[in-house]
Amino acid sequence: MSVILGIDIGGSGIKGAPVDTRTGQLVGERRRIPTPEGAAPEDVKKVVAELVTHFGLPGAVGVTFPGIVQRGHTLSAANVHPDWVGLDADALFSEATGHDVHLINDADAAGLAEARFGAGRGVQGTVMVLTFGTGIGSALIHDGVLIPNTELGHLWLRDKHAESWASDRARELDDLNWKQWSKRVSSYLQHLELLFSPDLFIIGGGVSKKAEKWQEHLKVGRGRVVPATLLNEAGIIGAAMMAAHDATPAGETTTSPEPARPTPPRKTPARKTPARKKA
Instruction: Select from 76-84, 177-185, 233-241, 246-254 the region that touches ligand BGC (CB under 6 A).
Output: 76-84
Which DSSP symbol is given to 268? P
Instruction: Select from 27-35, 94-102, 103-111, 183-191 the region that touches ligand BGC (CB under 6 A).
Output: 103-111
Q: Which is nearer to ligand BGC, 60 or 68 (CB)?
A: 68
Q: Which is nearer to ligand BGC, 107 or 115 (CB)?
A: 107
- What residues from 153 to 172 belong to the interface with ligand BGC (CB under 6 A)? 153, 163
105 in contact with ligand BGC (CB under 6 A): yes
135 in contact with ligand BGC (CB under 6 A): yes
With contact defined as beta carbons under 8 Å apart, do 18 and 75 qualify?
Answer: no
Which residues are within 8 A (CB) of 156 and not within 5 positions of it... i.e. 6 or more apart? 162, 265
Q: Which is nearer to ligand BGC, 79 or 126 (CB)?
A: 79
Instruction: Select from 13-21, 65-73, 93-101, 116-124 the region that touches ligand BGC (CB under 6 A).
Output: 65-73
Helix (H) or strand (E) holding 25, with range, is: strand 25-26
Q: Which is nearer to ligand BGC, 90 or 163 (CB)?
A: 163
Helix (H) or strand (E) holding 186, with range, is: helix 178-196
Taking the CA atoms of 164, 168, 170 and 171 in sequence, report the sign of the dihedral they define: positive
CB-side exposure of 126: number of CA atoms within 13 Å?
13
Q: Which of 25, 79, 126, 190 binds ligand BGC (CB under 6 A)?
A: 79
Angle at alpha carbon of residue 256, lines to 111 and 253, rounded to 5°: 55
Nearest Cα residue to 206 out of 237, 247, 173, 235: 235
Radius of gyration of the chain (CA): 19
Q: Which is nearer to ligand BGC, 114 or 163 (CB)?
A: 163
78 in contact with ligand BGC (CB under 6 A): yes
63 in contact with ligand BGC (CB under 6 A): no
Tell me which residues touch ligand BGC (CB under 6 A): 66-68, 76, 78-79, 105-107, 131, 135, 137, 151, 153, 163
